[in-house]
Structure 1
Amino acid sequence: MENMERKLYEAAMAGSVNTLLELRQQDPLIVERPTVNCLSETPLHVAALLGHEDFAKEILRQKPRIAEELDSRKSSALHIASQKGYVGIVKALLQVIPDKCSDTDVDGRNPLHLAAMRGHIDVLEELARAKPDAASARLIWGETILHLCVKHNQLEALKFLLENMGDSELLNAKDDYGMTILHLAVADKQIEAIKLLTTSTAIEVNAVTANGFTAWDILAQSKRDTKDWDIGELLRRAGAISAQDLQLPANELAVIQTNSVTSHENNQKHEGYYLRGF
């Protein structure tokens, strides 16, 4: 039996449907036996990892339940195919296990999280259609799928999710450190993401982190570089201010917010861009 199992895994590695069918003729139960290799990977896991779509479809036809099996990291073949971006395999798996989009691996990530981290828009479309609620699931540190998009600099995935989810609560969600996606984008100086968030969404530009910082404060405390002018302008136009200014009485705060939008003279020096409070 061990030799037959080795041949089955070799067939999965090669994506050989003919070999799979030949092995099934020799041993009709070969696909039915539980996995015994050290990583607990099934031949379907291997096919999903390497993008062997025809092999994956054939083994699913022979044993649909194999789609539910997990490897040593609690990853299903759907996790793997989603992370790798093999949309054809994802579609085949969703026909068998449409409700498994919410299942999490050992790191607490579901297939949508993994697709977002890699920027696989076509996979995200399929997964979100099958299980829309899976996109709202939080990770172990309170991060959302939008946090992952920003952390992994996946602008197109972020755009797709913002356009299709329409969830203002998720948009302004904070992780366990009180960081919103705007905080993260400013900290990493992702200009296009900041522009998207401040001009096309209802992001709370003056949300405060657990350490008491607004997005404006994060920029002010960051290492200076050439991006700061553009980022500062985007934040200013959106009405961003410091956490210190948020503590002012309402009438004084209104003046500061008005000045923030109508003038940038106090935030500019001829040799570069500086924020008030430096």
Structure 2
Amino acid sequence: MDQSLRDVAQQGNIDALYALIRMDVKVLDRIDELPFVESPLHVAAFAGHTRFASEIMRLKQSFSKKPNEDGFTPVHLALQNNQTEVVRQLLDVDEDLVRVQGKEGMTPLHYVAQTGNLVLLAEFLNVCPKSIKNVTIRGDTAFHIALKNNQIDAFNILMNWYKRTRFNDKLASHNKQDKDALLSGVGDLLNSKDEEGNTLLHVAVSQNQTQVVQRLLNSDGVTINSKNLEGCTIWQGQRPISREMGHMLHEGREVLRISPSRRAITHEVYLRYNFDRDFQSFMLRLQMRIPNELRSILLVVAVLYLTINFQLLLCNNGPINRTPPME
């Protein structure tokens, strides 16, 4: 990209863009021929020029999925520079941009899980549910990334979205033989392994994330005895852990001896049900057509309410009681 076009993109000047096009009608086509290139859309997205980015998207939508020489798409660059409105504008044109992979296979969803941007995380899941299935070249899912970066609130958002979609999928499956293609393959996410063979439980134990471990141990379908590439389960080979974590893991061993049909229905089950119901209501409200500024404010308030409310309730109710019911 020549300097004149770069300057126009940095200024966000649409009139100047068309002046350059009048001088050279193939100026954008030549950029589009390159597999890795800094396009005007990359520059405008990083600079936060929403209207200019929208105009370029209209003229050359292919730029939106093209990586620059560093492996980043325009959405990646906009996220890195906190240009949220540009991100939303690009997604209004193409929702699949949420799952376009950049350097090392990182998608925009992975990025917001890593940085803990709860508002965009919720929006991304809503507009592109398939994005949760993407993994990086390190084998990390968005769940792994959130935990490895100690973004517990982001992990809770992912978990509640996962549980909501799984519940809806089960309800729909009795009416059709094949489950919704959007959610195919999602069932293995909670047991997926990174490049070192570590599941979410391995990561949470190694990070001493007690609330996460507690939640995973009580989640249907989570495999507790998985081994990583070193042959270790969550009870073996972990770095020093807290006393609370040690007690929880010991309690987890004991519960394996109890038949699932005999496990008590605890208060956390009730909390999870109500939290999932609130999250579902929240996700539905995301579909409302409201101004971007108002939407941002409402999303921040709603996400913080949901995540903090869940954590406070979980903390106040203490460890999960796994004692089998009296016969």
Shared fold, TM over 0.5: yes
The 8 Å contact of residues 206 and 240 in structure 1, kept in 2 or not, is answered as: no
> Is 1:24 paired with 2:21?
no
Once the 2 structures are TM-superposed, how far is the Cα of residue 30 of structure 1 from its aligned partner? 7.7
- The aligned residue for residue 181 of structure 1 is 200
In 2 relative to 1, CA 51–186 (structure 1 residues): closer, same or farther, beyond 3 Å?
farther
- The aligned residue for residue 210 of structure 1 is 229
Mapped partners of 1:233, 1:199: distance in 2: 15
In 2 relative to 1, CA 51–213 (structure 1 residues): closer, same or farther, beyond 3 Å?
same
Mapped partners of 1:99, 1:78: distance in 2: 11
Instruction: Provide Cα deviations, 1:4-62, integer angstroms capped at 9, x if missing partner.
Output: x423323433xx33x3323423543486253399x721121122224333432343344
Instruction: Provide Cα deviations, 1:132-175, integer angstroms capped at 9, x if missing partner.
Output: 22211232233222111111222122111111123552112222
The residue type equivalent to 1:32 in the other structure is: L
Mapped partners of 2:210, 2:82: distance in 1: 26
- The aligned residue for residue 232 of structure 1 is 246
Mapped partners of 1:21, 1:169: distance in 2: 50
- The aligned residue for residue 316 of structure 2 is none
> Is 1:197 paired with 2:216?
yes
Structure 2 unaligned segments of length 5 or more: list them.
164-185, 259-327
The residue type equivalent to 1:24 in the other structure is: Y
In 2 relative to 1, CA 233–31 (structure 1 residues): closer, same or farther, beyond 3 Å?
farther
> Is 1:45 paired with 2:42?
yes
> Is 1:57 paired with 2:60?
no
- The aligned residue for residue 35 of structure 1 is 31
Mapped partners of 2:115, 2:141: distance in 1: 15
The residue type equivalent to 1:121 in the other structure is: L
Which of structures 1 and 2 has the bigger CA Rg? 1
The residue type equivalent to 1:239 in the other structure is: R
Query: What is the 5 A alignment of 1:92-107?
Result: 92-107=89-104
Structure 1 unaligned segments of length 5 or more: list them.
242-252, 256-278
Query: What is the 5 A alignment of 1:72-87?
Result: 72-87=69-84
The 8 Å contact of residues 8 and 16 in structure 2, kept in 1 or not, is answered as: no
The 8 Å contact of residues 83 and 118 in structure 1, kept in 2 or not, is answered as: no
In 2 relative to 1, CA 71–197 (structure 1 residues): closer, same or farther, beyond 3 Å?
same
Mapped partners of 1:90, 1:193: distance in 2: 30
In 2 relative to 1, CA 234–199 (structure 1 residues): closer, same or farther, beyond 3 Å?
farther
Instruction: Provide Cα deviations, 1:96-140, integer angstroms capped at 9, x if missing partner.
Output: 333344332241222222222222223223332333222112322
- The aligned residue for residue 153 of structure 1 is 150
Mapped partners of 1:230, 1:82: distance in 2: 37
The residue type equivalent to 1:230 in the other structure is: E
In 2 relative to 1, CA 27–212 (structure 1 residues): closer, same or farther, beyond 3 Å?
closer
Mapped partners of 1:191, 1:74: distance in 2: 36
Instruction: Provide Cα deviations, 1:183-240, integer angstroms capped at 9, x if missing partner.
Output: 1122122344334434566543333223222222244xx24xxx61122233233337
Query: What is the 5 A alignment of 1:164-179?
Result: 164-166=161-163, 167-179=186-198
In 2 relative to 1, CA 24–150 (structure 1 residues): closer, same or farther, beyond 3 Å?
same
- Number of corresponding residues: 232
Moved more, 151-160 or 96-105: 96-105
Query: Which of these residues, 88, 105, 112, is aligned with residue 108 of structure 1?
Result: 105
Scaled by the length of structure 1, the TM-score of the pair is 0.69
